[in-house]
Chain A
Amino acid sequence: MAEPLLRVENLVRRFGGIIATDHVSLDVAAGELHAIIGPNGAGKTTLISQLTGHLSPHSGSVLLGGRDITYLPAYRRCALGLARSFQITSLLLDFTAADNVALAAQAHAGTSFRFFANARKEKGLRDAAHAALDRVGLAHRADVVVNRLSHGERRELELAVALASKPKLLLLDEPMAGLGVTESQRMVKLLQELRKEVSIVLVEHDMPAVFALADRISVLVYGRVIASGDPAAIRQNEDVKRAYLGDQHVVTHHG
């Protein structure tokens, strides 16, 4: 089998006495959409943060395309083709949508130690920004300051920013969080398009969306992966059903 794009081996992260990530191992193949689900507090965001480099694991390793990136800082991982979106929207609120995306493009287009020329007039960056905005359907809002964008638009802008860095692997931390029904449907449609171009790790609560999109699903409970497999297998898995007892209807009914 070919080298997986992302390989996580025996990752451990503790907060005091709590083990938030408990010997997690998983592989993401190139071209795959790999979903990570789990009840609240299962350690999904902790896991993602270790993948992006915002948090260091206590042991274990993270490999991107065979290269050990376990202790690389976030900005270096980004340069290697790893992009993320945040669970709680994290954008430059006082910048326009186009500026947000153009900055992401700028990070991957030569040095930013240029002090004199007007960056907003660099055609390459602006074109890249508009292409990414167009991709997520926000082209008409390019010059609006993020403060004035709706929640749904901000979620889409998060995606555009991630796309602008031309990533190999996209880590999406609950892209549907807080979206209404129609907005969620738009987002699912968008992700269905994007997954043709880029490998995706998707952390998501929205079960219908996960089962509609994922090639493979890993289930995280108390920091541990209790099951990993294709959507059909996960749906049948007894451990998963038990873990989701309170939320069981979510798995069975909507599936």
Chain B
Amino acid sequence: MPTHKRTTTKPPAMSLQPRPWGFVGCFTAMASPCELLMQVDNKHIARQMLTLAYDEAQRIEQKFSRFIEGNIVWHMNHAQGKGLLIDPETVQLLQFAQQCYALSDKAFDISAGSLMVLWRFDGHHQMPHQSDIDAALRHMGFNRISLTNNILTMPAGMSVDFGGIGKEYAVDRTAQLLAQRWPQHSVLVNFGGDIACPITHKDGWQVGIENPHKLDNAAALLTIRQGALATSGNTRRYIDVAGKRYGHIINPQTGYPVEQAPLSVTVLAPNCVMAGMLATMSMLQGAQAETFLQQQGVDFTVFRG
């Protein structure tokens, strides 16, 4: 169990409701609605589970969000080329990111932070300037990060962003903590559509997959007994410029959004980090997203415009 302090500035905005099959708990973290479905008949245990999930989600958000000043990511992005001693958890996330960078042939790159900030999907119908994109591309490349003996050295001007892994990681960590502590209760952890269920549910949990054309209406229902699911998509985040829609999956080699990328990809896998990474990698394949996923031998759902 990780030890950590609860943030006292924000009171836990959690809600816990009974259901015929157990309890459902809700809170907001990582800018997403988070939900816990718990097959438990004891309200006290359900409350403990929800608190644990809330704490873990908060902890990971505080530690790895690039929007929070003074956390490890902020220190990494402000080290100005100097070596920085980092903790084992961050080392593991970086090593995972490094493996994804290699497996995706440099298409998945957490060091593309300075490129990502150029593409703001906030409703402004405006493209970044080419000169800014070129400047950002010069400050990227995970292969230029060195990590030896827990000392991280990043070129000055580079900035990393764990946004592509953080939420899925939080889901898996939370699911794992719950499963370790209550191995006899099935819980479905759902942080903004990224889902894990490590303990088998006898009848299976019903999970809806969003149709990007009709947001907030489930287009497909899936039954999950055990495993994880993650979605990558530009369903809610895109910009329209001169009739052309640019999605939020940016190709770090060109600096531009991937063309012919699906609207959304949902992948089923043993854990959420793996599902999320396969979904992201398939988006980066653009028109060949489905082919890629078929070759991986995983279950998936792809929506295209």
Asked whether A and B interact, the reply is: no
